Structure 1
Amino acid sequence: MVLLTGAALSSSFARAADSERWVAAWTTSLQAIPQLSHPPPLYRAPDVSGRTLRQIVYPTLDGNMLRIRISNRYAREPLRILAVKIAASARGTAATDGESVAVTFAGASRATLAPDADIESDAVHLPVHRGKPYAVSIYLGQGQHLQAWHRVASQFNYLSSPGDHTQDSSAAAFRSRITQWAWLATVSVASPSARSILAIGDSITDGMASSLGMNHRWPDDLARRVAKEGYGPVAVLNAGISGNRLLSDSPCYGESLSSRFERTLADTPGVQSVVVLIGINDINFAHMPPRRVLDCDAPHTLVSVSSLIAGYQALAATAHRHHVRLFIGTLTPASLPAEREAIRAGVNRWIRAGRGFDGVIDFDAALRDPAQPQRLRTVYDSGDHIHPSDAGYAAMAQAVPWRTVLEASPR
């Protein structure tokens, strides 16, 4: 068993894996679960003790060898992994096609991660086909608790009855469905020539209000567009978090993008360009009424055009320090009151001026109603006047000049 207290491994297995060029083909961003004795239903973690968690991922690269990164970030207790298997998923369900392949860590099938530790697996020889579902099954120790997750997965993952069901090809033992990801942070593919575009931001990148289980987030649509139009191997990754803000942390919606951005770049191999879309929650949450039991919108920090601009400039500096191109998306219509709409409009004017970063993605122009530009076009509105419909997310993907995003020279 591997006992890990930090992010690095010093073994022949790790060195062999690092001899390959790895590019992230799928990723998600984790966030702490509010630790309350009686949390609201949305924040009640499922019972994972002694069970197998089967998570479905859709890599966006082809390859013959992969590895995964498991993260115990934001937890306050060790993570005990007793077994991990990966297999092709049958139509994106808990059932699998073919044999599962064991995942090891420095040659061991078990690993224990201290709080905040990450671990990269050894290389796994398995054909990977972009856009196809794969089931990653993690058998957890007795007494294990879920303390961090990605809350809005927009798809089903599966929890088994007690026991090790990592090798089960049938879905019979996986009787519980959840709509979160947990511990699994990245799936990377060995590829000498692949590149990736990382989409990062809030719920509009996370795909909130898109059709459950249908992969209609805008980065999904962009991945399909890139594959169809052809350009060589290009991954499109989604590091959005619903409720995330540029400047403020949240007890529910994760660390601010300003806080998590550099670590995300460091943890995601092969990123060449980043598309950022964030800021609408910074504008809105200052005006939300405080809640007594769990105030997810705290702190209710007032922001200005200048404070948001300073946040974007810091992201650009971080990206360029990592030799990564940064593209900023204009803030999309949200039917805001006049005072907040003025901030959104001011931010968008600055973004369109395009100073200090590598390019603009005009999501606002792609989605707004020409007659009422502060509102989404009806066909692109999911119904809450903030989050796009599936058609709206598809329009966002069409608005991304992805060849330019990959080929632009960093400023």
Structure 2
Amino acid sequence: MTIRSLAAACGAALFCQLAVSSSVAAAGTDASAHWVTAWATALQPIPQRADLPPLYRAPEVAGRTVRQIVYPTLSGKSVRIHLSNEYGKTPLVMEDLRIARSAGGAAASAGGGARVTFGGKPSVSVAPGRELDSDPIAMDVAEGAPYAISAFMAPDQRVVAWHRVSSQLNYVSSPGNHAADATAEAFRGRFTQYLWVTGLSVDAAPGSTAIAAIGDSITDGMRSSLNLNRRWPDAFARRLAGSGNRSTAVINLGISGNRLLNDSPCYGDALVTRFGRDALERPGVKAVILLIGINDINFAAMPARSGLDCDFPHASVTAADLIAGYQRVIAAARRAGVKVFGGTLTPAALPASRENIRLAVNEWIRSSHAFDGVVDFDAALRDPAEPGRLQRKYDSGDHIHPSDAGYAAMAEAVSVDGAVNSARK
């Protein structure tokens, strides 16, 4: 698998551009625009319990302004913001929404940035279970630069879903509308999740496309450095840009704790369930890199907990179960005209019974030819002396999640050797 082949696979077959079926089309959208997702994240519901541990308590947002920092991976001449109330039971109401170039921390560029509208109106109400694109916003967006998206929330708004591991500091203000504030003064609250904003698409140059990385915490970038964009999809986006490809976005749809086959109280819908919504329905996505399965293998062995049991159900899986799940994902991608590339499961210092499942799954990923291509993350990270373990320099310390160097090595596994592009054959 090469960067050139994967990017070209993403760019091929432009006739199969996808529509976001759950979105309401923005009023006044230019039919000639070429919308491509430049940044995205995937939501997961927050357990609704009175006894939540601090790790699962959302920030207070009612009547306050939430400022979130995102890094698009593709440039464009205008932008749309995608909002999701997928797990809400009441309307999601924003009274003012703006986007501005970030000036570092919670500060934004002078002038308050651009006001975001919906059907020409500055406020928006997204019905429970629905998603919505904003009107196009005329502003130049630069690949790799940080942008601050600021939302003044309704007085009774609360957070019921989030992307829990953002590896990015975001901010909440003191009470009041501070969406247009350039200074960070009002934004004293900090949190490390993403809320409601699940996508940023740009009107990009013709032929531009997106690659979606989807999976669990290893795609999500768990234990990577805060605020430094050291997840493996970040490093992959930088490699694409460094190779001269400025027409392919890389979006990260990993969810820490996510499983292929089972939903979780804390870790989101099973990937076989969320794959269409989170990956295939994103504007401009033409290829997907899939890396998931280690939590399916591990969670059966996790002890049941009283109160909040994030690992429920503690379902046992076989290699055949996981392979059947992969085949469902592959079939969905094929129906959508999207290429899907299988990532081998990385070493996790597993006991023999679980390690045998991992090895069997990886053998199938490498040899079955079921995927459009393979990215051998396992080979990139494993210790040659102990193949069931991460190399020490790639281990963040928990023997499961890579370090920043490990995530960089994963990006290197998608090589630039100029191999033939099988996707064009």
Q: Is 1:94 paired with 2:89?
A: no
Instruction: State the shift of 1:244 in Å.
Output: 0.2
Check 1:386–1:255 CA distance in 2 against 1; reply closer, same or farther (3 A cut): same
Question: SS at 2:389's partner residue?
Answer: strand
Tell me, in whole angstroms, the C-alpha distance in 2 between the residues paired with 1:338 and 1:223.
35
Is the 8 Å Cα contact of residues 95 and 171 (structure 1) preserved in structure 2?
A: yes
Question: SS at 1:373's partner residue?
Answer: coil
Is the 8 Å Cα contact of residues 50 and 140 (structure 1) preserved in structure 2?
A: yes
Gaps in structure 1 of 5+ consecutive residues = 1-5
**1:286-333, Cα deviation, whole Å (9 max, x unpaired):** 110001110000001100000000000111000011100000100000
Higher relative contact order (CA 8 A, sep 6+): 2
Question: SS at 1:386's partner residue?
Answer: coil
Aligned to 1:24: 37
Correspondent of 1:359 among 373, 389, 393? 373
Tell me, in whole angstroms, the C-alpha distance in 1 between the residues paired with 2:227 and 2:244.
25
The 5-angstrom pairing of residues 153-192 of structure 1 reads: 153-191=166-204, 192=206
**1:20-55, Cα deviation, whole Å (9 max, x unpaired):** 110000000000000001201111111100010000
Q: Is 1:346 paired with 2:360?
A: yes
Is the 8 Å Cα contact of residues 214 and 279 (structure 2) preserved in structure 1?
A: no
Tell me, in whole angstroms, the C-alpha distance in 1 between the residues paired with 2:43 and 2:418.
29
Paired-residue identity, %: 55
Correspondent of 1:9 among 12, 16, 24? 24
Tell me, in whole angstroms, the C-alpha distance in 2 between the residues paired with 1:410 and 1:284.
37
Tell me, in whole angstroms, the C-alpha distance in 2 between the residues paired with 1:310 and 1:170.
52
The 5-angstrom pairing of residues 12-411 of structure 1 reads: 14-91=27-104, 93-99=105-111, 100-191=113-204, 192-401=206-415, 407-409=421-423
Question: SS at 1:145's partner residue?
Answer: coil
Q: Which moved more, 1:379-388 or 1:37-46?
A: 37-46
Question: SS at 1:375's partner residue?
Answer: coil
Q: Which moved more, 1:222-231 or 1:258-267?
A: 258-267
Question: SS at 1:312's partner residue?
Answer: helix
Instruction: State the shift of 1:19 in Å.
Output: 3.7
Q: Match for 1:76: what amino acid?
A: K
Tell me, in whole angstroms, the C-alpha distance in 2 between the residues paired with 1:185 and 1:298.
26
How many residue pairs end up in the alignment? 403
Q: Match for 1:177: what amino acid?
A: R
Is the 8 Å Cα contact of residues 50 and 162 (structure 1) preserved in structure 2?
A: yes
Is the 8 Å Cα contact of residues 324 and 410 (structure 1) preserved in structure 2?
A: no
Question: SS at 2:328's partner residue?
Answer: helix
Instruction: State the shift of 1:16 in Å.
Output: 2.3
Instruction: State the shift of 1:407 in Å.
Output: 4.5
Aligned to 2:6: none
Question: SS at 1:14's partner residue?
Answer: coil
Check 1:68–1:272 CA distance in 2 against 1; reply closer, same or farther (3 A cut): same
User: Given the two structures, how large is their TM-score scaled by the length of structure 1?
Assistant: 0.95
The CA RMSD over aligned residues, in Å, is 1.6
Q: Match for 1:98: what amino acid?
A: A
**1:350-385, Cα deviation, whole Å (9 max, x unpaired):** 011042220110000000000000000000000000
Question: SS at 2:110's partner residue?
Answer: strand
Aligned to 2:11: none
Check 1:107–1:165 CA distance in 2 against 1; reply closer, same or farther (3 A cut): same
Q: Match for 2:127: what amino acid?
A: A
Q: Which moved more, 1:137-146 or 1:398-407?
A: 398-407
Tell me, in whole angstroms, the C-alpha distance in 2 between the residues paired with 1:272 and 1:60.
15
